[in-house]
Amino acid sequence: MSERNGRTANVDDAHFTDTAALDLSKITPPRDEDEFAHLRGTSAEEDVTFTKAERKFIRRRSLSLLWRASAGVRGKLLLTAIAVVVSQGAQAATPFIAGGLAIDWGLPRLMDGDSAGLWVPALLYLLCAVTAGVLLYWYTRMTAEASQAMLYKLRDEVFRKTQALSLDFHEDYTSGKVISRQTSDLEALRELLDGGVNQLVQGLMFMLFTTIYIWISDFRSGLVLLAAVVPIIFLGRWYQKNAEVAYRRTRISSARMIVHFVESMTGIRAVQAFRREDARSRQYRKLAKIYRDDMVRSIGLFGVLQPGLMLIGNLAVAAVLLWGGFRVLEGDLGAGLLLGIVLATKRVFQPLDMIAMFYNSLQSATAALEKVSGLLEETPKVRQVKSPQRLEDCAGDIEFTDAEFKYSDDGPVVMKQLDLHIPAGQTVAVVGRTGAGKSTLVKLLARFYDVTSGSLTLDGVELRELSEDDHHRHVAMVTQEAFLFSGSIRENIALSRPEATEDEIIAAAKAVGAHEFIMGLPEGYDTDVNKRGGRISAGQRQLVSFARAFLADPAVLILDEATSSLDLPSEQLVQQGLERLLGNRTALIIAHRLSTVSIADRVLVIDEGQVVEDGSPQELIDAGGYFSKLHSAWSATMGN
Amino acid sequence: MQQSEQKGAPGAQERAARQRYERGQQRSLIEALKRLVPYLEGLKLRWFFGMLAAIAAGIIALSIPVVLGGLVDDIEAEGAAAAVVWTAFAVVLGLGVLEAIFVFLRRFFVIPPASDAETNMRVSLFERLVGQSAAFHGAWEAGQLQSRAIADLNMLRRFFAFGSLMLLTSSITVLVGIGVMFSWSPTLAALFLCAAVPVIALGPAFRRKFVHYSRSAQDQAGEVATKVEESVHGIRVLKAFGRGDWARSSFKEEAATLRDLEVSKMRTLAKFQMLMVLLPEGVLAACIFTGLYLAGQGDLTAGALAGFFAMAVVLKQPIEGIGMLIGMVFMAKTSIDRHIDVMDVEPDIVSPAEPKTAAEKGLVELEDVHFRYPDAAEDLIRGANLRIEPGETMALVSATGGGTSTLLNLVPRLYDVTSGTVRIDGVDVRDYSLPDLRSRVAVAFEDPTLFSTTVKSNVLLGTSHQRDDDDPAHPSRDRAPSRDQLDEILDEALHTADAEFVRELPESLETRIGEEGLSLSGGQRQRLALSRAIAAKPSVLLLDDPLSALDVRTEERVTARLREVLDGTTTLIIAHRPSTVALADRVAVLHEGRIADVGTHTELLERSAIYSRIMKPTPPESQDLMDAIPADEDQGEAADPAVSANTEVTK
Tens of pLDDT, residue by residue over A145-163, are 999 999 999 999 999 998 8
Write the DSSP symbol of residue A499: T
Sign, CA dihedral B624-B630-B635-B637, equals: positive
Report the DSSP beta bridge partners of residue B603.
Answer: none
- Out of B112, B244, B452, whose CB is closest to A163? B244
Altogether, the residues listed in chain B come to a count of 651
A16 falls in which pLDDT band (50, 70, 90)? very low
pLDDT band at B324 (very low <50, low <70, confident <90, very high): confident
- The beta strands (E) that lie in A150-250 are given as none
Which tens digits make up the pLDDT trace of B184-232?
888 888 998 888 888 888 888 888 899 999 999 999 999 999 899 888 8
Name every chain B residue with its beta carbon within 8 A of the beta carbon of A270.
Answer: 445, 449, 451, 461
Cβ-Cβ contacts under 8 Å for A589 (sequence gap 6 or more): A427, A428, A429, A430, A558, A559, A596, A597, A600
How many H-runs (helices) and E-runs (strands) does chain B carry?
Answer: 24, 10
The answer, yes or no, to whether residue B637 has pLDDT greater than 90, is no
Q: How confident is the model at residue B621 (pLDDT cuts 50, 70, 90)?
A: very low
Yes or no, beta carbons of A531 and B142 under 8 Å apart = yes
What is the structure's pLDDT at B641? 38
Round to whole Å and give the CA distance between A9 and A143.
25
- From the candidates B13, B210, B292, which should be mutated to test the interface with A, based on the most A CB atoms within 10 A? B292
For helices B164-184 and B186-193, the axis angle rounded to 10 degrees is 140
Report the pLDDT averaged over residues B41-52.
88
* Rounded Cα gap, residues A187 and A191, in angstroms: 6
Percent helix, strand and coil across chain A, each to the nearest 5: 70, 10, 25
Q: Do domains A52-69+165-377 and A398-485+554-639 have the same CATH topology?
A: no
**What ipTM was reported for this prediction?**
0.85
Per-residue pLDDT, B639: 37
Interface of B with A in 407-436 (CB under 8 A): 409, 412, 414, 434-435
B-chain CB neighbours of A102 within 8 Å are 288, 291-292, 305, 309
CA dist., res. B470 & res. B473, Å (int): 8
For residue A145, what pLDDT is reported? Answer: 92
Tally the residues of chain A: 640
Q: What's the confidence (pLDDT) of residue A18? A: 58
Where is B599: in which H helix or E strand? strand B594-599
Q: What's the rounded mean pLDDT across residues B615-626?
A: 51
Task: Note the pLDDT of residue A15.
Answer: 39
Q: What φ, ψ does residue A219 adopt, rounded to 5°?
A: -70, -25
Spatial distance between the Cα atoms of A521 and B218, rounded to a whole number of angstroms = 33
Q: What is the pLDDT of residues A526-547, one digit of tens each?
A: 888 764 444 777 788 888 888 8
Instruction: Judge whether residue A13 has pLDDT over 60.
Output: no
pLDDT at position B263, please?
94
- Cα–Cα dist A569/B38, whole Å: 57
The answer to whether residue A640 scores a pLDDT higher than 50 is no
Q: For residue range A439-469, list pLDDT tens digits in order.
A: 888 888 888 888 888 899 988 888 888 888 8
Nearest one of A561, A217, A485 to B237, comparing CA atoms: A485
Percent of chain B with pLDDT over 70: 90
CB atoms within 10 A of CB B340: 18
Rounded CA-CA distance A60/B540 in Å is: 59
State the pLDDT confidence band at B474, using cuts at 50, 70 and 90. Answer: low
CA–CA gap between residue B219 and residue B229 (Å, rounded)? 15
Gap from A93 CA to chain B (nearest CA, Å): 11
Interface of A with B in 512-541 (CB under 8 A): 513, 516-517, 519-522, 528, 530-532, 534-540
pLDDT tens for each residue of B436-464: 888 889 888 877 778 888 888 888 888 87
Amino acid at A282: R
Q: Does the pLDDT value for residue B556 go beyond 70?
A: yes
Name which of A121, A167, A273 is nearest B235 (Cβ-Cβ).
A167
CA angle B352, B354, B359 (to 5 degrees): 95
Q: What is the pLDDT at residue A411?
A: 74
Distance CA A81, CA A88 (A): 10
Answer whether B395's CB lies under 8 Å from B433's CB. Answer: no
Q: What is the percent of chain B where pLDDT is above 90?
A: 20
Q: Which of A402-416, A562-576, B249-263, B630-644 is predicted most confidently?
A: B249-263
For residue A138, what pLDDT is reported? 92
Give percent of chain A with pLDDT exceeding 70.
Answer: 95
Q: What is the pLDDT of residue A637?
A: 61
Query: What is the model's pLDDT at position B619?
Result: 55
- Cβ-nearest to B253 among A7, A110, A531: A7
What homologous superfamily is domain A398-485+554-639 in, according to CATH?
A: P-loop containing nucleotide triphosphate hydrolases (3.40.50.300)
Provide the shortest C-alpha distance from residue B470 to chain A (in Å): 9
Pick the more confident residue, B347 or B634. Answer: B347
Q: Is the pLDDT assigned to residue B628 strictly greater than 70?
A: no
pLDDT value, residue A530: 67
* Angle of the A219-266 helix axis to the B142-149 helix axis, nearest 10: 140
Cα B256 from Cα B252, distance rounded (Å): 6
Nearest C-alpha neighbor of A272 from the set B464, B441, B541, B371: B441
The yes-or-no verdict on residue A4 having pLDDT over 70 is no
Mean pLDDT of chain A: 83
Buried b (16+ CB within 10 A) or exposed e, B355-377: eeeeebbbbbbbbbbebbbeeee
Single-letter code of the amino acid located at A435: G
Instruction: Quickly state the pLDDT bin for B638 (edges 50, 70, 90).
Output: very low
Q: How confident is the model at residue B262 (pLDDT cuts 50, 70, 90)?
A: very high
Identify the residue with better confidence: B42 or A64: A64
SS3 A190: helix
Residues 179-198 of B with CB under 8 A from A: none
What pLDDT does residue B401 have? 77
* pLDDT one-digit tens code per residue, B134-192: 888 888 888 889 889 988 999 999 998 889 988 988 888 888 888 888 888 888 889 98
Dist. CA B213–CA B333, nearest whole Å:
12
**Identity of the residue in B273, B435, B553 whose CB atom sits nearest the CB atom of A630:** B553
Q: Does A412 touch chain B (CB under 8 A)?
A: no
Question: What confidence score (pLDDT) does residue B410 get?
Answer: 92
Interface of A with B in 156-215 (CB under 8 A): 156, 159-160, 162-164, 167-168, 170-172, 174-176, 178-179, 182-184, 187, 194
How far is the C-alpha of A105 from the C-alpha of B578, rounded, in Å? 104
Q: Is the predicted pLDDT of residue B643 greater than 80, yes or no?
A: no
Average pLDDT over residues B324-339: 91
Would the pLDDT of B26 be above 80?
yes
Average pLDDT over residues B367-383: 85
Residue A203 reports pLDDT greater than 70: yes
Q: In what helix (H) or strand (E) does residue B366 lie, and over which residues does it extend?
A: strand B364-371
Give yes or no for a contact between A619 and B542, defined as CB atoms under 8 angstroms apart. Answer: no
User: Using CA atoms, how far apart are residues B298 and B293, in angstroms rounded to an integer?
Assistant: 9
R_g of chain B, CA atoms, integer Å: 35
Contact B521, A598 (CB under 8 A): no
Interatomic CA distance for residues B490 and B505, integer angstroms? 16
Q: If you average pLDDT over every residue of chain B, what do you get?
A: 82
Are A370 and A364 in contact, with CB atoms under 8 Å apart? no
Average pLDDT over residues B349-364: 89
pLDDT score of B649 more than 50: no
Q: What is the pLDDT of residue A226?
A: 87
Reported as a single tens digit per residue, the pLDDT across A167-198 is 888 877 888 889 889 988 998 898 888 877 77
End-to-end CA distance of chain B: 61
Phi, psi of B194 (to 5 degrees): -55, -30
- Local structure of residue B544 (DSSP, 8 states): E
Instruction: Delimit the domains of chain A by residue range.
Output: 52-69+165-377, 398-485+554-639
Write the single-letter amino acid at A168: D
Query: Per the CB < 8 Å rule, is A476 touching B240?
Result: yes
Question: Predicted confidence band at A6 (pLDDT cuts at 50, 70, 90)?
Answer: very low
Highest CATH level, class, for A52-69+165-377:
mainly alpha
Rounded CA-CA distance B466/A283 in Å is 10
Query: Looking at residue B244, what is its pLDDT?
Result: 83
- Give, as one character, the DSSP assignment of residue A487: S
User: Which stretches does DSSP call E strand in B460-552?
Assistant: 540-544
- Judge contact between B94 and B64, C-beta under 8 A: no
CB burial string A204-213: b at 16+ within 10 A, e below: bbbbebbbeb
Q: Which domains does chain B have, with CATH numbers?
A: 3-34+182-343 (1.20.1560.10), 433-570 (3.40.50.300)
Check residues A598 and B186 and name the one with the higher pLDDT.
B186
Across A22-28, average pLDDT: 78
